[in-house]
Every structure is written in C-alpha cells, then in structure tokens.
Structure 1
C-alpha cells in the first residue's frame, strides 16, 4: 500500500494567458542590485526602468478591455535599489535608492495621474539603501538596510523604532517572518543573522551561511521556522540551503544549483 497520497495537483500545468492579456513594449532596466526588480500589488506592477531612479508602473487590470498604459514614476536622483508594496494598502509603494533615501508613494486608484512627488521621504542617511520590506502584520512599519545597519521605521511617526547594527559588513538582504516576530538578514561577512527587533538590537542567533561573499538572498518558508538562503559556495557554485531557526547551528539541507561563470 502506498504510504503517500497522490497530489491533486499532479496533472496541473501552467497555461499562458491570451495574447491580448500580455503586457508588451516594456523597456525594463538591468541595474545590478540586492533588491527586487519587479513587484506587484493587487492594483499595480512596478519594475526597474532603463533610466536611473525611475520605475515603470503598469496597472494590473486594464479598464474596459483596453490596452494597459505604462507610466513612469520618477523616484530618485540615483538608482532605485529596492521597492515594496504595503500588505495593508495596495496603493502604497516604498522605494529605496543609492541616493541614500527611502521614499513612500501613494499610487492612484486608476485613471489618475502618477504622483509627481513622494508623500514621505526618509533620509538621506550615511550609505545607499540596499533593501527594504514592509512588516507583514504591523501597518506602517518598514525595515530598511543601508551599509551595515538595518533600521525599522514607524512611518506614521517618521522615526526609527529600532536600529540593528551588529553586522560585520555590508548587508545583502533582509526578510520578515510571516508572523512578523523575527527578521532575518544576510551579509557580506558570510553570516546569516536572526533578530527579534522587539527584544533588542542584538542578533539572537547567527551562523556562517555561504562560503562565498557574493550576493545572497533569504526567504522564510511560509509560517514555519525554516529559512531558505540562496548564495554561492567557495567554488562559486550557486547553492540553496535550508535552515531551522529554532537551532541555527548548521544547514538542514544543501543543494547545488549550477556553476557561476565568474
């Protein structure tokens, strides 16, 4: 008798939408950064454009079956390194930049002009902003990384709630756990760190992540205590590691993906 139940999704396959539903004519940028290059809410899709400091903005749904209009949001005076939509407000977009500022934008409902200025600007700081992410369960709370420091902001009060600065080198990524209790970071010093920002600014756990200090990214596995890291081995092979953050002493699982050309 088979121990495992057959998945009800075993015969599913991806289907491309009709061609009239495609979004074409996009001139996306290829600026290297640690953050996102495309992000979507229930209303808008944002992506890096060719010009530095500019995001392309496309409505997720077109009105009356018409063609989608691609607009430009002139955000910063330098490269947009990362951006994120608020999980509490699908029109609220935060952007970070190499110009050392973070800006918060309110996009229109639809059929209105793209805003010419940010609703809120934080900074400039002392280093380019590398990554940012809204808190998943607390409204108007935003984590940003710049240099060796993560700042958790209260956007309503426009001031930091806490600063996490126990990193040994430049930050590469940050990610909130889905319940918002923990924050994970990866750093150029090759370490992964776990923070409970409510308990204090020091990392509660840290461990050597990947043997190579090239860019790495972190992702929580749903609501579990498991964390996925994507980085590079000492031989420059791209690899994925799975961690149990309840005891962050070593990776539970490591898988090589490919060999990087450089």
Structure 2
C-alpha cells in the first residue's frame, strides 16, 4: 500500500489573519474608478489609497501608525485634474510617491514625515508626454530616479525624475497595455496587452526579446510578473472564462512550465510576488479571498499553499515590502485589503514557537539604497538590488528630499544671430528687464496678501486655543 508523500516546505502552514479592528484604517472613501490597478500602495512609513474626490483626482497618504478613523478633512494629495488611476512608492526613498492620472500626466510627490496642514497640491515634478490617460506607474527596482509610465496611447515612457526629462519611448504595443513588471535587476520588463500577447522588452535597446501569443486563451485581461529566477508568472482566463495561472520560461515560450485552472470568477487576478520566499499572492478584484502559491523547481512548479477568506469583497490591495514586516512574529507578508469604506491589514505568518530570529524565513532583502545611478543604467550597466539584513528589524530612514535638477533649456536653444545690431540687443534686454520687474512686483503683492491672511488665521486660532472665542 503506497503512502502519499507530503511535500516538504516551511511555508506549507502559512496562515492569513486580519489585524484587530482598531488596527484598520476607517472612513476612507475608496475610488470607484473602473480601472484594474490595486488602488493602494504601502511602504514601511506610509499607506496611500486612491480615493473619491471632487474637482479632479486625489489620493490619501497616512502614516502607518495612524490607525483608526481617518478624519474626513485629512489633507489629500490632490494636484491632478482627472481621476488618479495608479500609484507607486519609490523603492529607494520612502517619502517619494508617483501617480498616474486620466489627465494624461504622471506626477512625483514628496510626502513629509509630519502630517501636512493643508492638501498637497504641488508635485516635485510633473511628467508630460502621454496623449491619453496614464494607467500604469512603476519604479525601476535598482536604479535611482528611473520611473516607467504606460498610457492608453499604447506608449511606454521611461523618465529620469531627477531631471524631469524623458529618456526612452517604447512604441511596440498595438493596443491597450494591461500591466508592466520589471525583472529583478531592471534590465528587462514584461508586459501584457489587449492583443493577447505577453512581451519581454529590453528598454535600452527598445527591442522585443521574446513574446508569446495567448498564454491564456480567454479575451479578458491578463497579468504577468517576473519571478526571481527570470521566469514569468501569468494570470488570465481560459476560453471558457475560467481563471488560470501559468509559469513560463521566456527563453522557450512555446510550452508552459506550469498551467493551472482555478475557478470561474470574473475578477482580474492581481499577483503580488515576494522574491525572498518565492510565494505569489493572488487577489481578485471583487473576490473575498486571497490565494497563495509557492513557486519551486519541483513539479508541479506552482504549489498551492492555502486561501485566506473573509466575508467582504476587496476593492483593491496593497503589498508591504519585506523590510516593513514584523520579524519577531514570523510575519512573511502583509497585505492591505481595501473595502468600500476602510482598509484592513492582513498578516501572513509562519507558525513557529521560537522567539529567535528565523534566518531561513528572512534572507537578506532588497534595501532602500539604489544600486545604480540613472545615467549608469541608461549607459547599459545592470546591478542586483543592494540587500539588507532584517535580523535587528528595519528602521525607516528620515525624510530625504528629492531634488529635481532640470536641464537648462537655454543650452538647447539655437545661438542668437551675430548680425543683430547693438541697438536691437539693448532693446530686447530692456523689455526682458521690465517684464522681470513686473513679475517681481506682482509676487511681492501676492506674498504680502498671503502674510496678512496667515496673520489673521493665526490670531483666530490663538483665540480658539485660549478659549476666548
């Protein structure tokens, strides 16, 4: 009589658990925009959620420690003129977040450590280059200040946000781009597209390295992400509208390494991948469950671990980087589930009795320092992420300001013709000087009026605090 051999894995008993009610973020009006992004981004300092707002697009940023009810007057990040569609925290600076919007722009924001007194309206830099809405935002994993945006104009643009300039435009998608995922060192990225193809692209050569038509035969949106070893994990639908996941080798795209049918729900499966544990968490919009799988070198290669289920469906999901987890509780992942009016953290834990640091659960993980400068990457260099140990826990760095040094546009202007007479030149200088003086005068007037307003407000505030009002 044969005995069934149980696969050995330290992650076989990982269990999900929502934090207590007082650890949630309440009274948040999550955006109702019909767009298949996660609507939530999180890092060791802040939680950001795309919210409903009048007069344009906005998202909420609260410190992780500010749990409980969020005041309805809490200041938003609100510089876009159209709904915000996607947000992403910079992996190398916990105070920097990028957003993409229906107003055809991407913006990069500096979030202060202290709670702002009024809405943040001024981005550090505005990136204008798309002719239609910007629905995908993703930072380069290892190079400083490199940001990728993808729009409904079917273009992918790579920017250097440190100079505000656009470096590379990739125009080889004939239809809407569903998602973009960098590989571990940022030398390649993969995309899924409405034309039912998965493409692997070398951005600096602007070449398609590999592509696969219909890894999933259904017509509904697909997702694809790179795994640590360079394989590609995909989610999609079968011809019969069943949800399906696949694992592929981009060097040989003909046959899948693994292909598994899942269920008949119609929500697009958003994959969140942890390269340290090789676990992928699948969250469908409108689902009330999170399934997780371990990717290994042994058949069937994608091993089902378990499902976290709750009563309410999710509107979106955030995924905490490894350095934001509590290593003392053997927490290997934390997801932030968006409900209609709140955000609920869910922890994924490996049950262990020992209180000691578990080396096997926490290999050195990607730290907050970039491995490359933007120019080095652009010139063809590659580097893996710089790793940090979590043995003593991770303490977020203090606010580091992003300085944008825009290239002088005068450098690229044609030199003036030498034939211009001295008289004409002097007249031009005089006109410019008069304009500058006018601008300085108007600025002075504005500053004085604002100072008066601030004084009045301070007086009112002091009356309230002294109890005289």
Q: TM-score, normalised by structure 2?
A: 0.51
Deviations 1:169-200 (A, max 9, x none): 111110111211111011000000001112x1
Does the 8 Å contact 1:165/1:202 carry over to 2? no
Change (3 A) 1:35 1:121: same
Match of 2:304 in 1: none
My pick for the range that moved more, 22-31 or 126-135, is 22-31
Q: Tell me what 2:57 maps to.
A: 53
Q: Which runs of 5+ in 2 are unaligned?
A: 268-469
> 1:35: Cα distance to partner?
2.5
Shift of 1:6: 4.0
Aligned length: 258
Query: Structure 1 residues 21 and 98, CA, compared in 2 at 3 Å: closer, same or farther?
Result: same
- For residue 136 of structure 2, the aligned residue among 106, 131, 135 is 131
Per-residue Cα deviation, 1:141-179 (whole angstroms, up to 9, x for no partner): 011111221111111222222121111211111011121
* TM-score under structure 1 length normalisation: 0.88
Partner residue of 1:94 out of 86, 94, 98: 98
| C-alpha spacing 1:8/1:190, structure 2 compared with 1 (3 Å) | closer
Alpha-carbon distance change, 191 to 5 in structure 1, aligned in 2, over 3 angstroms: closer
SS in 2 for 1:14: strand
Matched with 1:190 is: 196
Q: Structure 1 residue aligned with 2:218, among 197, 212, 216? A: 212
Task: Please list, as runs of the form range in 1=range in 2, the aligned pairs for 1:71-220 lying within 5 A after superposition.
Answer: 71-113=75-117, 114-123=119-128, 125-146=130-151, 147-198=153-204, 200-208=205-213, 209-220=215-226
| Deviation, structure 1 residue 38 | 0.7
Q: Secondary structure at the match of 1:20?
A: helix
Higher relative contact order (CA 8 A, sep 6+): 2
SS in 1 for 2:16: coil
Larger radius of gyration: 2
1:13 aligned to 12, 15, 19, which one?
A: 15
> Which digits, 9 at most, give the CA deviation of each residue in 1:51-89, with x for residues without a partner?
351212221123xx9876554221411121111000001
For the residue of structure 1 that corresponds to 2:22, the secondary structure is helix
Corresponding position of 1:39? 41
Asked whether the 8 Å contact 1:142–1:154 carries over to 2, the reply is: yes
Distance 1:214 1:11, change over 3 A: closer
Distance in 1 between residues matched to 2:121 and 2:251, nearest whole Å: 46
Q: Is the 8 A contact 1:192 1:206 kept in 2?
A: yes
CA contact (8 A) 1:36 1:81 kept: no
Q: Distance in 2 between matches of 1:248 and 1:261?
A: 26
* Change over 3 Å in CA distance of 1:11–1:169 after alignment to 2: closer
2:457 aligned residue: none
Unaligned ranges ≥5, structure 1 = none
Q: Give, in angstroms, the shift of residue 261 of structure 1.
A: 5.3
Aligned Cα RMSD in Å? 2.4
Query: What CA deviation, in whole Å up to 9, does each residue of 1:102-140 have, x standing for no partner?
Result: 001111112333522111111152121121100000010
